[in-house]
């Protein structure tokens, strides 16, 4: 017989197979997921959740699509966490330490607890890229935060109230606009699109059935 575990969704007890992820266990228990569910493979950040194991005080975070259920797990989902995104015009900014000081001064309140890194489901060195942002090393901050999926679980655990995903996003935008060399092939392609060179191809694609589009996708030539 399949091993079963007792879990609690929003305070209600269910028995579910131990091999399931939180997401599939919720569906097994009868929940229809219409929010807080996206790619199902740990890359979209939509299914962040908080859980605690019965008998343990530690509050943990994870992605429902990749975190397996455990015996005595109390779970609630947080498909959106209110990180603090500042308003700015990227064309008015410069890629230096001053921009971080002005837009995200709370990063200098970091106490080095490393809770953000421990919470990251992508295993990013979150505290490190915040340290790069503090020093104004925009390029390294952008590189270290590149795989961030914006789920916000790092910010959930931060006692300093830092919006880590938004700091990383700003660094990547600044890096792309001011530090990395221009991607001339991309500029050329944008010009081609604006000139209407792909209008007929798009019209042809829109006229295809779903099955035809799936067939094209599944048999596409993948660039190396």
pLDDT at 224: 64
Whether the per-residue pLDDT at 1 is higher than 70: the answer is no
Decide the pairing of beta strands 12-17 and 48-53: unpaired
**Do 59 and 86 touch, CB atoms closer than 8 A?**
no
pLDDT at 38: 84
DSSP tag of 91 = G
Domains by residue range for the chain, with CATH? 4-77 (3.10.20.30), 90-179 (1.10.1060.10)
d(CA 217, CA 43): 20
Structural element, H or E, at residue 148: none
The mean pLDDT value of the chain amounts to: 92
- Would you say the pTM of this structure is higher than 0.85? no
**Do 4 and 17 touch, CB atoms closer than 8 A?**
yes
Summarised one tens digit per residue, pLDDT across range 148-175 is 999 999 998 899 999 999 999 999 999 9
């Amino acid at each position: 017989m399949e091993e079963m575990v007792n879990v609690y969704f929003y305070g209600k007890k269910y028995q579910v197979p131990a091999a399931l992820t939180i997401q599939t266990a919720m569906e097994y228990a009868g929940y229809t997921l219409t929010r807080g569910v996206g790619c199902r493979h740990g890359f979209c950040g939509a299914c962040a959740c908080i859980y605690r194991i019965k008998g343990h005080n530690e509050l943990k975070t994870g992605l429902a699509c990749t975190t397996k259920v455990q015996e005595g797990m109390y779970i609630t989902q947080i498909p959106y966490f209110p990180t603090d995104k500042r308003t700015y015009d990227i064309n008015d900014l410069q890629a230096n330490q001053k921009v971080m000081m002005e837009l995200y001064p709370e990063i200098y309140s970091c106490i080095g607890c490393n809770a953000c890194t421990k919470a990251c489901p992508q295993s990013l060195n979150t505290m490190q890229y915040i340290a790069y942002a503090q020093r104004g090393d925009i390029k390294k901050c952008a590189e270290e935060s590149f795989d961030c999926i914006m789920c916000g679980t790092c910010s959930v655990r931060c006692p300093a109230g830092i919006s880590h995903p938004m700091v990383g996003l700003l660094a990547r935008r600044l890096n792309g606009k001011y530090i990395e060399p221009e991607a001339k092939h991309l500029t050329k392609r944008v010009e081609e699109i604006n000139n209407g060179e792909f209008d007929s191809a798009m019209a042809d694609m829109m006229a295809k059935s779903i099955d035809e589009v799936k067939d094209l996708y599944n048999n596409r030539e993948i660039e190396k």
